[in-house]
Amino acid sequence: MKRVLLFVVTNIAVILVLSIVVNLLGIDRFLYTNGINYWNLLIFAGIFGFGGSFISLAISKWMAKWSTGAQVIMQPRSDMEIWLMSTVQKQASQAGIGMPDVAVFESDSPNAFATGMNKNNALVAVSTGLLRTMRRDEVEAVLGHEISHIANGDMITLSLIQGVVNTFVIFISRIVGYFVDRVILKNEEGHGLGFFITTIVAQIVFGILASVIVMWFSRKREYVADAGGANLAGTGSMIAALESLQRSAHEPLPDQMTAFGISGKPSKHGFKLLFMTHPPLEDRIEALKRSVGR
């Protein structure tokens, strides 16, 4: 309930901030002169901007299980499943969160992810490849990384940021569309073709720019989750787990889970890094080594 309230409050705050900016820049007068109610536009942008993020977050557990084929462990059937359940339970208790659902999905690639809109009702899933190729202390570090994502509320925070940028993108792209249609193309009745084409193009361009902000936040949270995994399972184990990922063939998770996996798409430097959910593994390893003076 608190998280739903946070979504609503943030949505209202964004609309108010946009309203103030619109007034200061005089955009409201331009819109009213051209027969456009900017308050309606603001509310429309807020509802659609946050609505999509909220719905995605609300169904994230179901989508994760459906898209990866992850099977929740209801009754442990092997020593490995018993160990997985007990390790997650121990770490969840240490992190002060409720016991997440624990699942395993078929993949030769070593990976894991966490999702869910409530830190006391989340999901942690690991791949069969990760269980086969990593030592137990490394798997424990990976689990600690995912538990830290949940405990830090990274899923809800990333969704809020996505909602904020979505709202700005929807609002600004339509302002640009109105301007081109009415001022440049001199259309005086309704929405002309210029409005629709310009709005679509602007939304694509602004959406790409906005994704840079979201990806930047995601990369920052990976360092924090690594530190959390090190705290729960030991820095040496966390470093060893990341080094093991470096040596492994990597298959990315579905897009909606990528930000909360232990590793994203293959690490890149330079311009491409701006659009990556995860920092390069070597940078994450170096950050952990610096934290212990190694």
**How much is the pLDDT for 55?**
80
Q: What order do you get walking across the sheet with 71-72 strand by strand?
A: 71-72, 101-105, 123-127, 112-115
Q: Per-residue pLDDT for the chain (294 aa), expressed as one digit of tens each?
A: 455 555 566 656 666 666 666 666 666 666 666 666 667 777 777 777 777 777 888 888 888 888 888 999 999 999 999 999 999 999 999 999 999 999 999 988 899 999 988 888 899 999 999 999 999 999 999 999 999 999 998 888 888 888 888 888 888 888 888 888 877 877 766 677 888 888 889 888 988 888 888 889 989 999 999 999 999 999 999 999 999 988 876 666 665 556 566 766 555 566 777 888 889 889 999 999 988 765
Asked whether the beta carbons of 151 and 114 are under 8 A apart, the reply is no
Task: Please pick, among 146, 222, 251, 282, the residue that the annotation labels catalytic.
Answer: 146
**How much is the pLDDT for 59?**
83
Give SS3 for 52.
helix
Nearest Cα to Cα of residue 62 among 106, 107, 105, 116: 116
Measured on CA atoms in the order 132, 137, 143, 146, is the torsion positive or negative?
Answer: negative
- The pair of structure tokens assigned to 229 is 């995994």
Record the pTM: 0.81
- The pair of structure tokens assigned to 98 is 């409720």
Q: If you compute the radius of gyration of the chain from its CA atoms, what whole number of angstroms results?
A: 22
Residue 146 designated active-site: yes
For 27, residues 6+ apart whose C-beta sits below 8 A from its C-beta are 21, 38, 175
